[in-house]
């Protein structure tokens, strides 16, 4: 699951994504969940993230919430970008400090060093 777009460090959001490898996994679509999560997403960060991951079919401006009720095609795209694209190998980069959090096997390593706490 691509959750990197809804994650930030206290001193900087959004994290930039450096892609080395992206995998796609089939996930069953669930409209209720998508509607629930939609309000919480920072659309610009999400749009940028999905573009970096190689999926550019989303609209640049955040659509109206009403679209979620009617437009099944948009829901499918949103679902694909949110849940089916996985960053397998790469890194998340803090926009403020440039600190890199490596991503291995789909697990972001968010451990800080002692001097960063």
Partner 1 sequence: MSSRPELQAPPEIFYDDTEARKYTSSSRIAAIQTELSERALELLALPDDGVPRLLLDIGCGSGLSGETITESGHQWIGLDISHSMLNVALENEVEGDLLLGDMGQGLALRPGVIDGAISISAVQWLCNADKSSHEPRLRLKAFFGSLYRCLARGARAVLQVYPENLAQRELILSYAMRSGFAGGVVVDYPHSTKKRKEYLVLTCGPPSLSTAVPSGKVEDGESCSEDESSEDEENQMICISDRHRPRKKQKINKKGKGREWVLRKKQQMRKKGNVVPPDTKYTARKRKARF
Closer to partner 1 by Cβ: residue 12 or 63? 12
Q: How far is the CB of 79 from partner 1 (least distance, A)?
A: 12
- The DSSP secondary structure of 22-46, one letter per residue, reads EEE------HHHHHHHHTTS-HHHH
77 closest CA partner among 68, 64, 87, 66: 68
Q: How far is the CB of 83 from partner 1 (least distance, A)?
A: 8
With beta carbons less than 8 A apart as the criterion, state whether 93 and 18 touch.
yes
Q: How far is the CB of 101 from partner 1 (least distance, A)?
A: 8
Closer to partner 1 by Cβ: residue 63 or 106? 106
Residues forming the site for partner 1 (CB under 8 A): 1, 3, 6-10, 13, 30, 32-33, 35-37, 40, 42, 105-112, 114, 117
Closer to partner 1 by Cβ: residue 43 or 56? 43
- Alpha-carbon gap, residue 59 to 30, rounded angstroms: 21
């Amino acid at each position: 699951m691509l959750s990197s777009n809804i994650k930030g460090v206290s001193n900087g959001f959004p994290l930039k994504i450096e892609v080395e490898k992206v995998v796609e996994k089939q996930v069953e679509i669930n409209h209720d969940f998508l509607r629930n999560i939609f309000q919480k997403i920072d659309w610009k960060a999400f749009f940028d993230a999905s573009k970096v991951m190689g999926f550019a079919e989303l609209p640049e401006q955040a659509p109206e919430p009403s679209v979620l009720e009617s437009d099944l095609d948009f829901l499918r795209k949103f679902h694909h970008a949110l849940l089916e694209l996985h960053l397998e190998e790469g890194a998340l980069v803090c926009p403020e400090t440039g600190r890199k959090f490596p991503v291995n096997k789909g697990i972001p390593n968010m451990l800080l060093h002692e001097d960063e706490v």
